[in-house]
Structure 1
Amino acid sequence: MDLPSDSCKYITWHKVEQHGIQGSQLRCPRIREGSCEEDLLCKQVRYTFPPKRRTLEKTKWETWLQENWEECTNLNLSFQDLGDTYQVENFKRILRRLIRVEILWLVDNSLVDLSAIRLPSCRILNMNKNYLTSFKQLPKIPQIQHLSLAENHIETLAGLSNLQYTPLESLILTRNPCEFHQNYRKRSSIKKIAQFKREKTYR
């Protein structure tokens, strides 16, 4: 459905009235909220805000239900353009609700640290083109099988042991600084992680 971009570009999808679209119909929903009214006025951006309405607890609850993130199993939240701190916090709030997601794409979101997030059912996670510098900044992903971290800023393989108890089958670290370390491929191989698992088991 085509939406007039100028009047809707600062509104998340579930706040656009009379659009007739449900969350389960969106392949890549834009969840990033626009700048607050004060910021836009400071930047002298001409934008007509919808009239302010008193937000009741019932309305908040209806919005929470409409988002329906708890039922997502396959979700693409890439390219969100998270420019402000409150946008990042809102993004993390949604990630915390993804208790059933199995396939998740978070490409090019300028993400730095998701260590406080837990994705209990995630099997495939793509976090290419973010700002991760360590495996310790990854979310908790106990069921992960395929993990892609290409084009981040991971300098060392410290923290790789955090994946020792997961069923990890593939790990992509292309175009990270750690590629230039000696024995990089040997240390980051799935076989090496599996060996580390066995050593920890027999100790």
Structure 2
Amino acid sequence: MQQQQQQQQHAMSESSSGLNTSCFRFCTSQSSPCSDLSNLDICLPVLTSRNRVIHQPSCDSGIASPLPSDSFKYLTWHELQEHDVQGSQIHCPRVREGPSEEERFLRGEHHTLFARKHVTEKEKWEKRLQEDWENCVNLNLSYQDLGDMYQLENCKRILRRLIRVKRLWLLDNSLTDLSAICLPRCKELKLSKNHFTSFRQLPKIPEICHLALDENNIETLDGLSTLKCTPLESLMLKRNPCEFQENYRKLVFSKLPNLKVLDGIPKLPEDCLPPDTNFLFKICTIL
């Protein structure tokens, strides 16, 4: 009789939860079955990209790994089906690519591998039209986490196509050199929190008006004169080693006569003086 009641309770638990409780192996100690999670083995179903349910082994935390969303973590936005969103309509896209199939195999990420058909030239052209980077005007590509070279190269590929962008943010991307990039219509560019060491590593920005380079590693003002022919009005150089250079503000304004604001502070009367204002005191007076 007692055995029949236990079987009925077991069947009720299966129907109410929707999960097969035979996948749960609880500890057999005298304490509560939920008191020791280290002895709990849970097998949860995982939905793959092909809508197939598989059972993954559990990890030490008791949560099945990998999660169902892991199979989509390297999927780019333009590979999603049944949508017509273009790159010029997205203000903060993720542009970095995932690793190759060989790299994912070496990393042990077999669950992220999916069969890819041969891409035809027509499909490549349709993808290029869907990205539509040439018509982007305002774009935020910050925090892309460009940890691998192929991700960085893909980001640069997109930057080369931004021929009409006017406002571009590239914060905290570990960028070091964009000298091969040309942004002919860019008026506002934010390169804060990157790894630039020289003004010569900046992209070609002939129409720039507002430039942010704070929190980089620029040590000297060499190459700053390359921005002299641009309509640059405001410049941010805070938290760069060159900020501690003697007569820092005077040197910057002398190299950029059209500059109006430096590090958020408007041009002051004393900033208009030449860098070496003490030359009169260095003249020897012969009596």
Measured after TM superposition, the shift of residue 49 of structure 1 is 2.4
Give, in whole Å, the separation in 2 of the partners of 1:195 and 1:118: 22
Q: Tell me if the contact between 1:8 and 1:16 (Cα under 8 Å) persists in the aligned partners.
A: no
Q: Tell me if the contact between 2:231 and 2:258 (Cα under 8 Å) persists in the aligned partners.
A: no
Measured after TM superposition, the shift of residue 72 of structure 1 is 0.4
Structure 2 alignment gaps of length 5 or more: 1-67, 260-287
Give, in whole Å, the separation in 2 of the partners of 1:19 and 1:60: 17
The answer on 1:194 being equivalent to 2:257 is yes
1:112 matched residue in structure 2: 176
**Which amino acid in 2 is paired with 1:175?**
R
**Residues 12-66 of structure 1, C-alpha deviation per residue, up to 9 Å, x if partnerless?**
2111223453323322000100111222221212433232101111111111111
Please give the residue correspondences for 1:60-99 in structure 2 after superposition, counting only pairs within 5 Å: 60-99=124-163
Q: Tell me if the contact between 2:188 and 2:208 (Cα under 8 Å) persists in the aligned partners.
A: yes
Q: Quick check: 166-175 or 49-58, which moved more?
A: 49-58
Give, in whole Å, the separation in 2 of the partners of 1:168 and 1:132: 19
For 1:194, what is the secondary structure of its paired residue? coil
Please give the residue correspondences for 1:1-203 in structure 2 after superposition, counting only pairs within 5 Å: 5-189=69-253, 192-194=255-257
Give, in whole Å, the separation in 1 of the partners of 2:176 and 2:195: 5
**Per chain length, whose mean CA-contact separation is higher, i.e. which structure has more relative contact order (CA < 8 Å, sep 6+)?**
1
For 1:47, what is the secondary structure of its paired residue? helix
What is the TM-score of this pair, normalised by structure 1? 0.89
Give, in whole Å, the separation in 1 of the partners of 2:86 and 2:258: 46
Structure 1 alignment gaps of length 5 or more: 197-203
Give, in whole Å, the separation in 1 of the partners of 2:173 and 2:255: 30
For 1:62, what is the secondary structure of its paired residue? helix
Give, in whole Å, the separation in 1 of the partners of 2:88 and 2:69: 22
Q: Tell me if the contact between 1:29 and 1:77 (Cα under 8 Å) persists in the aligned partners.
A: yes
Give, in whole Å, the separation in 1 of the partners of 2:84 and 2:127: 15
Q: Tell me if the contact between 2:85 and 2:130 (Cα under 8 Å) persists in the aligned partners.
A: no
- Cα-Cα RMSD: 1.7
For 2:116, what is the secondary structure of its paired residue? coil
- Report which of the two structures shows the higher radius of gyration computed on alpha carbons: 2
What is the TM-score of this pair, normalised by structure 2? 0.64
